[in-house]
Amino acid sequence: MVIAFCDRIKSVGYRPMLYCNPNWLCNYLHKDKLINKYDIWLANWGVSAPSYNCAIWHYSENGSVPGISGSVDMNWIFKDYTSTKPSTVKPSTSTKPITNVKSVDYSVKVTAQAGLNVRKRAGTNLGTFFGIHI
């Protein structure tokens, strides 16, 4: 699914990137098929170097930045995204739609309590996200 999704994103002119941690990369995904095909944003905390070759290493969730209260995520970017030219493929809305996907509408009501830190709890137990990071 990850490869099909990323190939689709790339085919319409965007740069796909996979965000995951080493456990998901090794145990739930096809690491050898993904690691050299797509840029990897690896969430790998508490180590002195990332466990795998990656374009971005999310090394801490407990960083600090002057002017920002509370903890912030910290990342090392190993790839120069500023010097790479954008894809020559232009994004298109006329690309043939995927027809074998069931469409479902959802409605969600969210009620937040005072002091709720959605960022802190939102991603701590989830293993992987895949999508476009622009």
Please state the pTM of the whole predicted model: 0.63
The residue-averaged pLDDT of 15-23 equals: 92
Task: Report pLDDT for 60.
Answer: 93
Q: What is the pLDDT of residues 87-127, one digit of tens each?
A: 555 555 555 555 555 555 555 555 554 444 444 434 334 33
Burial of 127 (0-12, 13-18, 19+ CB in 10 A): middle
Task: Report pLDDT for 122.
Answer: 41
Q: What is the pLDDT of residues 33-80, one digit of tens each?
A: 998 899 999 999 999 999 999 999 999 999 988 888 899 999 999 988
The residue-averaged pLDDT of 8-17 equals: 88
pLDDT, greater one: 81 or 71: 71
